[in-house]
Amino acid sequence: MTAAPSLRLGVVVFPGINTDGDTHHALETFPGVTAEYLWHKDTDLKGVDGIVIPGGFSYGDYLRCGAIARFSPIMQSIADFAAGGGLVMGICNGFQILIEAGLLPGGLIRNTGLKFVCRYVNLRVETTATPFTSACHTGELLRIVVKHNEGNYTVDAATFEKLKANDQIVVRYVNAAGERAEGANPNGALDDIGGVCNETRNVFGMMPHPENSVEAALAGGADGRAFFQSMIDSLRTAEVTA
């Protein structure tokens, strides 16, 4: 049997990011995948095949979440990488950074109730037409943890209509039955949005933390694997067809 092509995925590290180790570990649970740390002051992406910006509190979340990290030298390299079609995933603070950098639409503001939220949520996959959900099926339910203070996704009315028209809303918060209902949304996000992609579908941001749900032996289960598996499969398919 032929071994799966090897991949190198970059994990970006900013001061204050605190799930870089979790993300690095999660990626290396996939056969043939090596994770590579990318320091925020560097501009060299070290030839990685894809990039993950993990969660935490970059630069202490001063000004706004992700507002300072957006100016780190590595972000221009990431923007160029994305412009060339490279796959970029942002998790929690990573999502916030991608929005601040203009790589994803919208904004992330304080949670409804103005409290930090840490609990498991149910996500419904709204589209599989992205490299980050291609291993899922539409309507699939995934149970993953959230832990954030500014996860309330918002966007202006015109952009919201565009997101819906372009099928850019990737996951929504739902209850255990897969229905949008009171109490399922942990932060007050517009239209129960938990994650979106850009128009070209190669940049994706989500508030929940899939890196903490990759091993079935742990309490959180392994539902988070779906996002990483999709990304890895997409990269390998592109490599084979290149």
Of the candidates 24, 40, 148, 209, the residue annotated as catalytic is 209
Task: Look up 136 and say whether it is catalytic.
Answer: no
Of the candidates 24, 40, 65, 92, the residue annotated as catalytic is 92
Closest CA relative to residue 23, chosen from 233, 237, 241, 231: 231
Task: Look up 209 and say whether it is catalytic.
Answer: yes
d(CA 7, CA 236): 8
For the annotated catalytic residues, the residue numbers are 92, 209, 211
